Protein backbone atom coordinates (compact mmCIF):
# COMPACT_ATOMS: atom_id res chain seq x y z
CA UNK A 1 0.00 0.00 0.00
CA UNK A 2 2.78 2.46 0.92
CA UNK A 3 4.65 1.73 -2.30
CA UNK A 4 1.53 2.40 -4.38
CA UNK A 5 0.85 5.64 -2.47
CA UNK A 6 4.44 6.79 -3.01
CA UNK A 7 4.33 6.00 -6.72
CA UNK A 8 1.04 7.89 -7.09
CA UNK A 9 2.50 10.90 -5.26
CA UNK A 10 5.61 10.87 -7.47
CA UNK A 11 3.50 10.61 -10.63
CA UNK A 12 1.49 13.66 -9.57
CA UNK A 13 4.68 15.77 -9.42
CA UNK A 14 6.32 17.42 -12.39
CA UNK A 15 9.51 15.32 -12.43
CA UNK A 16 10.17 15.43 -16.16
CA UNK A 17 10.97 12.30 -18.14
CA UNK A 18 11.22 9.58 -15.50
CA UNK A 19 10.24 5.96 -15.21
CA UNK A 20 8.71 5.12 -11.82
CA UNK A 21 8.70 1.43 -10.90
CA UNK A 22 7.77 -0.67 -7.91
CA UNK A 23 9.93 -3.47 -6.56
CA UNK A 24 8.59 -5.88 -3.95
CA UNK A 25 7.89 -9.57 -3.46
CA UNK A 26 4.25 -9.46 -4.60
CA UNK A 27 5.21 -8.55 -8.19
CA UNK A 28 5.69 -11.19 -10.85
CA UNK A 29 9.29 -12.04 -11.72
CA UNK A 30 8.81 -10.30 -15.08
CA UNK A 31 7.71 -7.08 -13.32
CA UNK A 32 10.64 -7.35 -10.89
CA UNK A 33 13.15 -7.78 -13.74
CA UNK A 34 11.94 -4.54 -15.33
CA UNK A 35 13.96 -2.45 -12.86
CA UNK A 36 17.21 -3.93 -14.26
CA UNK A 37 16.51 -2.91 -17.86
CA UNK A 38 18.40 0.15 -19.13
CA UNK A 39 16.44 3.32 -19.83
CA UNK A 40 17.22 6.68 -21.37
CA UNK A 41 15.11 8.43 -18.71
CA UNK A 42 15.84 8.78 -15.03
CA UNK A 43 14.67 5.75 -13.14
CA UNK A 44 12.89 5.86 -9.79
CA UNK A 45 12.47 2.51 -8.06
CA UNK A 46 10.17 2.45 -5.04
CA UNK A 47 11.11 -0.65 -3.09
CA UNK A 48 10.82 -2.43 0.22
CA UNK A 49 13.82 -2.47 2.52
CA UNK A 50 14.41 -6.13 1.59
CA UNK A 51 14.73 -5.26 -2.09
CA UNK A 52 16.88 -2.25 -1.23
CA UNK A 53 19.48 -4.30 0.66
CA UNK A 54 19.40 -7.50 -1.39
CA UNK A 55 20.13 -6.32 -4.93
CA UNK A 56 22.26 -3.97 -7.00
CA UNK A 57 20.71 -1.98 -9.84
CA UNK A 58 23.51 -0.57 -11.98
CA UNK A 59 22.01 2.78 -12.96
CA UNK A 60 20.68 3.77 -9.51
CA UNK A 61 22.58 6.79 -8.20
CA UNK A 62 20.49 7.86 -5.20
CA UNK A 63 18.71 5.81 -2.53
CA UNK A 64 16.19 7.41 -0.18
CA UNK A 65 15.36 5.43 2.93
CA UNK A 66 12.17 6.37 4.79
CA UNK A 67 13.58 5.00 8.02
CA UNK A 68 10.49 2.86 8.49
CA UNK A 69 10.20 -0.91 8.33
CA UNK A 70 7.44 -3.39 9.06
CA UNK A 71 8.38 -6.16 11.42
CA UNK A 72 6.54 -9.05 12.97
CA UNK A 73 5.95 -8.74 16.71
CA UNK A 74 4.21 -11.15 19.05
CA UNK A 75 1.45 -9.69 21.22
CA UNK A 76 1.15 -11.96 24.26
CA UNK A 77 -2.16 -10.46 25.44
CA UNK A 78 -3.92 -11.55 22.25
CA UNK A 79 -1.67 -14.52 21.58
CA UNK A 80 -1.04 -13.42 18.00
CA UNK A 81 1.60 -11.99 15.72
CA UNK A 82 1.20 -8.46 14.38
CA UNK A 83 2.89 -6.65 11.53
CA UNK A 84 3.99 -3.35 13.06
CA UNK A 85 5.61 -0.33 11.41
CA UNK A 86 8.68 0.86 13.32
CA UNK A 87 11.39 3.47 12.78
CA UNK A 88 14.91 2.23 12.15
CA UNK A 89 17.97 3.87 13.63
Confidence of residue 12 (pLDDT cuts 50, 70, 90): very high
Taking the model in full, what pTM does it have? Answer: 0.69
Annotate 43-82 with b (16+ C-beta within 10 A) or e (fewer): bbbbbbeebeeeeebeeeeeeeeeeeeeeeeeeeeeeeee
pLDDT tens by residue, 46-64 = 887 666 566 778 777 777 7
Amino acid sequence: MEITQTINALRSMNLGPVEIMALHAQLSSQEQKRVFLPTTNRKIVVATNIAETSITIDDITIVVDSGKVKETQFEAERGMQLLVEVLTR
